[in-house]
Amino acid sequence: MRAIWKGSISFGLVYIPVAVFPATREEKLSFRQLRGTDLSPIKYKKVAEADLTEVSSDQIVKGYEYERGHFVVLKEEDFEKVKIESTHSIDITDFVELGQVDPKFFYKPYFLEPQKGGEKAYALLHKALSGTGKIGIAKVVISNREHLASVKPDGLFLVLELMHFASEILSPSELNNGSNSAINDKELKMAQTLIEGMTVPWEPEKYRDEYRDAVLEMIEQKANKKEVAAAPVAAVRATNVVDLVKVLQESLNRNQSLKPKRNGTRTSGRSTSSLVKQKRRVAA
């Protein structure tokens, strides 16, 4: 794994040399647009809105629409004037209780690895944060953009997690949260019982992107000129629940019948993509 950024964590007068590594990856299927008659890939041309003529790259400038139909043209030297100095430092300015931070603020985690000479200070910060339940709130510059971020313990490592600024968090005040609905004690107790009955240890490996797996399997079948069978249509679920107690009781009964399966041997965690690759190796 290659580091995307190297620098240091700083709080007070403490500096800890670290490297930043991706902690997640997206597994998206990529598709190309083709002409149906001969499967020729489609390319896109940049055209001017005014007369629909193609525009070459050297004629394109960057602009900001400050009013509808009115633009300010910005050149590279304009951005250089306001370019944030890349200090290569994760500057922790405050420590806060993790429980006080709305989870919506967090959006992208990175692993932090101590570099030579910073191991002890890294371990000290990790242990101190773990013992207090607090996280560090910092500013960090990555790719010439300033980010709000947090530094928090995760297992044996520290994690840098990029955060939204408060102005980026939308308010759900206009949405209906159902708080005006009357809930009786029996309904509440049955719902809590159902939740307890469905509670299991967290095992992230057992959750897979089944749609992606199915698409890959379908692609494999089409590539091998096999007929693809249509998936059965799922029954439409009723959205107007009239008797909530009845539905909860049915759910409790169903959960009881599923318990042996929940506690039984898990199915193989191998993805369809790996099976597809294996089939191709065998075929070769």
CATH number of the domain encompassing residue 144: 2.40.290.10
Give the mean pLDDT per block of 10 residues along the chain (284 residues). Answer: 90 91 88 93 92 93 92 87 75 94 95 95 95 94 87 95 94 83 88 89 87 85 82 66 79 81 50 46 42
List % helix, strand, coil for the chain (3-state, nearest 5): 35, 25, 40
**Domain edge (last residue) among 168, 197, 216:** 168
Identify the pLDDT of residue 283: 41
Q: In this structure, are 199 and 266 located in the same domain?
A: yes
Handedness of CA 187, 192, 193, 195 (dihedral sign): positive
Q: How many Å apart are CA 17 and CA 23, to the nearest integer?
A: 19
Domain membership of residue 52 (yes or no) is: no
Pseudo-torsion of CA 51, 56, 57, 59, nearest 10°? Answer: -60
Total tally of structural domains belonging to the chain: 2
Burial label, 160 (beta-carbon count in 10 A; 0-12, 13-18, 19+): buried
Identify the pLDDT of residue 86: 61
The three-class DSSP label of residue 199 is coil
The three-class DSSP label of residue 58 is helix
Full residue range of the structural domain in which residue 101 is found: 5-26+83-168
Domain membership of residue 105 (yes or no) is: yes
Identify the pLDDT of residue 243: 78
Identify the pLDDT of residue 218: 86
Query: Quick one: which of 181, 280, 169, 138 has its CA closest to 221?
Result: 280
- What's the predicted TM-score (pTM) here? 0.70
Identify the pLDDT of residue 13: 87
**Is the Cβ–Cβ distance between 8 and 14 less than 8 Å?**
no
Identify the pLDDT of residue 271: 45
Q: In this structure, are 202 and 119 located in the same domain?
A: no
**Domain edge (last residue) among 168, 201, 230:** 168
Q: In this structure, are 100 and 225 located in the same domain?
A: no
